[in-house]
Structure 1
């Protein structure tokens, strides 16, 4: 095809190529995730080799090689001979160079940056679809194809042992093969590579393809190591199915000295009568428990700095050096040692692993850690002694196909060596490595994890095609490899980690079983007054749980035994209101015919007592109504109790709605004393359960005597009576007599208790009247009256007025006199001589007016005045006596 395109097309093609490996480059991972807490693992307890459990004890010496020089030395010849000018990339030569790379040795990658990937029959999205693959799928790169719309790879892959070929866009392929980066830089333009790799929008998309509880863990690792790439391997498998597959007999074994919680107690794995576990392989390997298998199977537990390398792709890289291999072998029989039989040209074990790794394009770190795992520290297994009777001179370093009980392991393993002609130590190392590479790495199981847990369906089905039975194998090898990288200062190089993801995984990472059963964490909550819901966390390796309950201060009794370790909740429906309950739970597992228990959980208290209410208001509204109010509580309703005087309490009202928190008692009678109390109740299964009573409230309905405030003549025409209001009364009766101890007659009934005054107009001036009052209430039993008030006396006689001044000036005479409260007014009389004829000159109609000015006079003439008060009662006018006469000369 013609490749003479414009600058825009060239840039687009380069961007597509860059996306294939820089998806998790620096600055490309901006996302937020939900932090998960990982359970710590005791590395020392877990890290054991099959033959010798002392492999972890020796320290590894510090050494640091020159990686840059070694990488330059290892540059592929195809790239050296076909390098192109970066500023003018020639894509035809790029294709030719890529083909030459594949001739040297195969290149593998994994699919990333999406959830599903369409593989086409041609390098064209309009062509037929060969297969739809999932993230993390291993593919073999067959060729690079440049089309106008971008860079494509022809890939080979397998699904259920059927091999396919097809085409996929380059941005969906990630590889750890460093030749690919060199090819990009030399044939797609180094300057363009640098520009486009500063940030890829696909980085966040890839991380978002992980479940949220993975993301925060991966983010932490990438923040520390920006060159690391994480690819989700979407297995499409249900977690429960995977666990069931891995629970197949002898699929996952642990050594017999491990904690009881790590070992299966199923009857096929454990003899309860003897208390012994059944050996499944060798002399001390027994079936692992479901709890410990779940822990090691759950990838989330190992997305940490120390343990993540079990997910590393096991391909060869130039930074996997001889010195790094020696770090892994440190403290073992292979450390700085030549092959004992002189094979391989007298090379050391480290040199052999590096040479074989380069030839097979498999990580020499992986090869070294695998042999260390299989042969232990001492290397004294008969599988590599070369002296076993009948198999002299044969070696099986990788323990390929070595299985069985006791000596069977040696015989099957050396038979494999003899059949393959591994009659030197180097041939055994090379042949075993070739067997692992071809049977596992090239067939999709290209990580430690996938060689332990067969969850890749490319070839050989699922669950059975696993390299080792040792459950801790992948974990231990990952630690060894990381140690090699760390001590060589190579941890920040580019690594690709392929991390499996399953459907419907547990909400949180599966816990690691402790030495003994761990203490459960209990939660308890009320379901109304009907039941208590109990729940607890999963205790790893528990076969069941026992639930205990105490009532009040009583002793604990077991109320339920849960016989399924996966059941993590219980509903206690035997509770009744009115009590306090205390719960605790413990886990158990059966051993030797008896139970082994965890510690009890912390106690959880549930208060089932019916909550007592309390008064909010209590008021005597009037002498026939008492108002009660109380606080709302979580109950069915309330009952109100009352007693009269010293009698017994009786329920006078049942409130059936807990939202109703007030009541008016209108059945009370004046003069009585009542005492009240209230309690709440709940109804469960037709039966009532009660709270405690409130404090009592007392209401004394004895009517108090009214208090007269005033009684006096008003305006000379009436007597005005006032009193203090009794808010509880219906009204008042007013009584009057003409002598204090005489007969009092009711003169007025006041029907409103707010009325507190009345005027008596039926009076005769000159008489003295006596008033008293009492309140009344109209009750169902009749009208009740209070006692009488004190008596007030009112004298109505008019007093003789007293003229206080008489003055003349300016042609006027001004007259003043003292006020008479009993008067309606005053009449003023005048004469021109003291004993002459007096005539009325003025009538004053207000008793408050006590002055008058006479303007009808003549200067120089004498005038005489006198005054008398008057009142009007019942239409008749009555007068007081005249005042003394006073005279004055007008001026």
Structure 2
């Protein structure tokens, strides 16, 4: 299906409203008033009316506007158990704030929901907006009938370009260093994947952008990617089409947008190469520069202002942000107002200034003639940096179809090249942050009722409710540091990121103890301790539980061998061996086949027997053998007294020769595997031969010994 854009300018009159269903808010005393936070310190928005790190959503500053719906009972704080259920207007986030932290105004919350408007519903149908988008769009249309909503049907970049799902978008965006959050944000917003820069052994994160940013979690990515979370008048401007509209984007609106920044009411010199008709007496205001930028790049100047403020900041205590100070050593009189080229690194500002001075050459030779012409490089004046940067943004992003703040951050158009990668910034919150600043600028300029066009992504297969905002500042580290068994040993050797293990124990072992430790002190462990073993396969799962409740499961398959019906007997008195052969209990060893030491005649002649005793050799099948006949594991030596009565029996063990044919080959590998995986058992001698390295456990190490013998000719130690 092709991505389509169908713009419908909908200037319709809203019908009389009805009241919203009160069941949408928690039970309590109705308040329904506008308020603001009053604490000089930050106030915590929580998922429940209780104070702990697990309920923390975010903290907000004094003066933050809230809608208060109900008053409920919760944890006592400062002598009161009264809490409000509220919405943070600027962020469209719901939660609980203690009543003492909110000052109510006399203004009521607008709880009305417009009646269905047939013409508007038809327009939504034509655009293909899912039902889960529509309640918010109806409310926006009722208040701002001149606004237009265009459905951008996002497609995947996999074969056939199917419609994009939210889960696939998260998967595609979840790559190391691509999506970042400040290190100071809640732990629920930070990645805990070791492959994405989390070091679980030290509880640290890989740092980006000079150490203040870390990888984002999948949960915050899902929240930011789900457009339905941002369909309020304060948050929708991340979907605003960013073309320059002269009737809307006036000099006065730009001046208002600059308020509170280092650029407010400030003039700078006009450079010799600055192509402007604005300014006077050799100077020009920043507001005038942004108007020049809009006219020359066809990009919304208010968007440019807020992109600048997002990227370089507002300046503090009269100090200019470094990227626009023009005083950096080696980059004097060089400026970068949008941090273009300042990709994640140890010093992103310098990377941005390198681009501002040299363009893409990076070798000090300076920008190419094409770059100079297109982007006004090098950016040796404030005017060139703001106007040239606007041209760069317009050419590289807006003309490419990334014509909203959202699409510049999340390029989810699979029909375009560089989908999911050609993205302006790493900050996952940037679109919503810029959106609110644009909204405030329009509100203060009195131009919210202008005919804005919003290009809203539509994803397929969405759940009925928007992706939730991650809650809590609790550790998510649930990696185990060790797992140990009181009997047997793990195969493979334990590693925190390996989750399946095997172990084999003798048939005489009917129980064992599993112990485990964690990397993080707040992580707990379930299902360790004493375990009863049945013959054959026993499966145990050890669960590491993070402080926030997330679980990581490790599985151990323990095989208990069958009990032997042929226990070895101690060697009879007076019987021994020479020529390097070993008699241990009832086993004869050190008969390595490659040296010919497994020949029946040589073994028999090496036995030391009491006077009158005789010895006879039998192969594994029970046939009497002698001379140069080779023997394998399980062959037996019968010792008899002079009167023919039994004096003792020895079984030959050749470590690695599990099947008893006297040859080390692939058949022996299969015997070891059957013992490890299926718990198979053979004669006691064969069971002993399975343990090629003689560490008391049959595991992958024994396989490696046999393979080394087969492939490299490396002898398996027998003595």
TM-score range, shorter chain: 0.3 to 0.5
Higher helix share: 2
Larger radius of gyration: 1
